[in-house]
């Protein structure tokens, strides 16, 4: 949605299939590496206003971008009046931050609706937030069904309406959620998420050169990949469509002929039955809190006591592999930076372990794949490949569903571990 050229591509995609009747758009993005996203400029405008700094120059960049798109598409929407009114309210401090930053999606949707000849439906007319920030799905679904009358519609992503009449936004990337809510509300046959990549890749392209795309992935696999570090979709995107058993197809606006990645609950057949690892991902900068105590395996409640200490400090535990007389707790280093020594003291008091150690600079790597289940020797092949590459494994964790194999390595070995697994199992 960055410029008029992208609008033309989107129009061609939508009109190529009459079944594409509900369109959710995002704000204008970057036209090149040195450009700015419209949403970033809107946040900057609000920051200027809060500190009493004139934001006219930034606001002009925003309005000029949309007016340029309008003119290049040959549209006659009188957007100047909307921008003038928005600037007046901004100067009067009569607009909230959420409302201001939502205008990127608003103006994108107005332009796209006019360009397609579809009806414009504002997100505030159907996306209903509750005061706790969650979406009232039944009310939102019913409201959208009332808005759709058979013709095509365009609606902005990223925001909705609170019960008090104020606009509220999702977190960044929230247009994905709006699209999923729309698909669920209308019980769509398919939710297509058009972006700038041809689906989900098997590994991070910043680490692996030209990784293969993943043609098919289940919702369970996607959840594992996302949790382990893959940048796939906004976290909240999956749930509305999964609840309705609606397939999700990630496609590339700039390469519409590519099939992308199809995501659904299960697949009756595999597109590539010989590839048993679906994706490889991970994150760096974890800490392992490891404790051991003789006789721990016979003592009731030790793990509960340890986890309770982390819970008291509002620390999310990522993994907890353990042996007979030892327990390891894996957490992000950042999350315990301010409270680590207090946590260690409380564990010492609660459990009285024989040893209590902390290991930093640990990366977690996950090999995810539904085809790994019940297949003998997979773990052995993974660890053999890492061993041959001289990569030391710090921890191992695998669930009973065999959907993933998770292991820890030193931060310095993170990229090498990803590459070794990809070269060994993805080709």
Mind listing the pLDDT tens digit for each residue in 73-83?
Answer: 999 999 999 99
> Longest Cα pair distance anywhere in the chain, in angstroms?
78
Q: Is residue 313 scored above 90 in pLDDT?
A: yes
Whether 400 has a pLDDT exceeding 70, the answer reads no
Q: Which residue has the tokens 């036209």?
A: 31
* Spatial contact of 177 and 240, defined as CB atoms under 8 Å apart: yes
The DSSP bridge partners found for residue 327 are 291, 322
Q: Is the pLDDT of residue 142 over 80?
A: yes
Among the residue ranges 110-114, 209-213, 227-231, 264-268, the one predicted with the least confidence is 227-231
pLDDT tens per residue, range 116-128: 999 999 999 999 9
Query: Mean pLDDT, to the nearest integer, of 320-337?
Result: 90
What whole-number distance in Å separates Cα of residue 179 and Cα of residue 200? 18
Average pLDDT over residues 304-325: 91
pLDDT exceeds 70 at position 217: yes
Nearest-Å Rg of the Cα atoms of the chain is: 25
pLDDT band at 151 (very low <50, low <70, confident <90, very high): confident
Q: How far apart are CA 31 and CA 27, in angstroms?
A: 12
Contact 167, 125 (CB under 8 A): no
Residue 230 has pLDDT above 70, yes or no: no
Protein fold of 279-425: VC0802-like (3.30.2130)
Is the per-residue pLDDT at 269 higher than 90?
A: no
Model pLDDT, residue 199:
87
Residue 404 has pLDDT above 80, yes or no: no
Whether the predicted pLDDT of 29 surpasses 70: yes
Beta-carbon contacts of residue 60 (< 8 Å; ≥ 6 apart): none
3-class secondary structure, 149: coil
Q: Report which of 240, 350, 364, 261 is spatially closest to residue 301, judged by C-alpha positions.
A: 350
Average pLDDT over residues 364-378: 74
Tokens 């200490």, residue located = 309
CA distances from 237 to 26, 157, 185, 258, 411 (A): 14, 12, 13, 22, 30
- Confidence band for 395, pLDDT divided at 50, 70 and 90: confident
Q: What is the average per-residue pLDDT within 395-416?
A: 83
Q: Which residue, chain included where needed, has tokens 């919702």?
A: 219
**pLDDT given at position 401:** 63
CA distances from 110 to 135, 183, 260, 294 (A): 24, 20, 28, 68
Alpha-carbon distances of 124 from 143, 335, 365, rounded to whole Å: 10, 36, 41
Intervals of CATH 3.30.2130.10 along the chain: 279-425
What's the CATH fold of domain 4-188? Answer: Carbamate kinase (3.40.1160)
Chain length of the chain? 427
pLDDT at 226: 77
Secondary structure of 277-309 in HEC code, one letter for each residue: CCEEEEEEEEEEEEEECCCHHHCCCHHHHHHHH
**In the predicted structure, residue 6 carries a pLDDT above the cut 90:** yes
When mean pLDDT is compared across 19-28, 262-271, 344-353, the lowest value belongs to 262-271
Least confident window among 267-271, 387-391, 422-426 = 267-271
pLDDT in tens, 57-95: 999 999 999 999 999 999 999 999 999 999 999 999 999
* Per-residue pLDDT at 272: 62
pLDDT digits (tens, 9 = 90+) for 279-300: 888 999 999 999 999 988 788 8
Nearest CA among 282, 418, 413, 287 for reference residue 362:
287
Q: Identify the pLDDT of residue 94.
A: 93
| Residue in this structure with the two tokens 């360009």, named with its chain if needed | 115
Query: What is the percent of the chain where pLDDT is above 90?
Result: 63
> Is the separation of the CB atoms in 199 and 215 below 8 Å?
yes
Task: Transcribe 199-263 into DSSP letters.
Answer: S-BSS-TTTSSSPPB-SEEEHHHHHHHHHHT---S-GGGHHHHHHTT--EEEEETT-TTS--EEE
Count Cα atoms within 13 angstroms, Cβ side, for 89.
13
Cα–Cα distances in angstroms (integers) from residue 111 to residues 70, 71, 160, 324, 406, in the given order: 7, 10, 19, 63, 46
Name 319's bridge partners: 330
pLDDT at 10 over 90: yes
> Over 90: is that where the pLDDT of 7 sits?
yes
pLDDT at 1: 85
Residue 141: burial class (beta carbons within 10 Å; 0-12, 13-18, 19+)? buried
Average pLDDT of the segment spanning 385-412:
83
Task: Identify the CA nearest to 157 among candidates 195, 187, 189, 130.
Answer: 195
CA–CA gap between residue 304 and residue 32 (Å, rounded): 51
223 confidence band (pLDDT: 50, 70, 90): confident
Instruction: Look at residue 266 and tell me whether its pLDDT is greater than 90.
Output: no
CATH 3.40.1160.10 domain range(s) in the chain: 4-188
Share of the chain above pLDDT 70, in %: 94
Please give the pLDDT value at position 398.
73
From CA 115, how far away is CA 98, in angstroms rounded?
Answer: 26
């Amino acid at each position: 949605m960055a410029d008029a050229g992208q609008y033309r591509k989107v129009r061609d995609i939508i009109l190529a299939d009459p079944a594409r009747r509900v369109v959710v758009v995002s704000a204008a993005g970057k036209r090149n590496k040195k450009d700015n996203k419209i949403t970033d400029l809107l946040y900057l405008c609000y920051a200027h206003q809060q500190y009493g700094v004139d934001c006219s120059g930034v606001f002009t960049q925003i309005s000029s971008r949309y007016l340029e798109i309008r003119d290049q598409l040959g549209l006659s929407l009188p957007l100047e009046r909307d921008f003038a009114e928005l600037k007046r309210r901004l100067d009067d401090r009569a607009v909230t931050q959420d409302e201001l930053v939502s205008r990127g999606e608003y103006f994108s949707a107005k332009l796209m609706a006019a360009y397609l000849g579809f009806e414009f439906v504002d997100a505030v007319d159907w996306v209903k937030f509750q005061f706790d920030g969650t979406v009232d799905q039944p009310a939102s679904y019913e409201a959208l069904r009332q808005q759709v009358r058979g013709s095509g519609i365009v609606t902005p992503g990223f925001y909705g309406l609170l019960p008090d009449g104020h606009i509220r936004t999702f977190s960044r990337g929230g247009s994905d959620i709006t699209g999923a809510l729309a698909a669920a509300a209308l019980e769509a046959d398919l939710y297509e998420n058009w972006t700038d990549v041809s689906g989900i890749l098997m590994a991070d392209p910043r680490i692996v050169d030209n990784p293969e795309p993943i043609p098919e992935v289940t919702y369970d696999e996607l959840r594992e990949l996302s949790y382990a570090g893959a940048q796939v979709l906004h976290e909240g995107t999956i749930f509305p469509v999964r609840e309705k058993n609606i397939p999700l197809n990630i496609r590339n606006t700039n390469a519409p002929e590519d099939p992308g990645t199809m995501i659904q609950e299960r697949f009756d057949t595999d597109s590539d039955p010989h590839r048993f690892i679906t994706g490889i991902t991970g994150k760096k900068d974890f800490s392992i809190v490891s404790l051991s105590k003789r006789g721990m395996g016979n003592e009731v409640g030790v793990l509960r006591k340890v986890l309770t200490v982390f819970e008291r400090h509002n620390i999310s535990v990522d993994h907890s592999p353990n042996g007979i007389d030892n327990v390891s707790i894996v957490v992000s280093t950042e999350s315990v930076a301010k409270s680590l020594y207090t946590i260690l003291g409380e564990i010492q008091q609660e459990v009285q372990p024989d040893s209590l150690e902390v290991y930093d600079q640990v990366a977690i790597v996950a090999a995810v794949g539904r085809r790994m289940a019940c297949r003998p020797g997979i773990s052995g092949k993974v660890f053999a490949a890492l061993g041959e590459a001289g990569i030391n494994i710090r921890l191992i964790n695998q669930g009973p569903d065999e959907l993933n194999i998770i292991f820890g390595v030193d931060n310095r070995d993170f990229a090498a571990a990803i590459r070794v697994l990809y070269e060994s199992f993805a080709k």
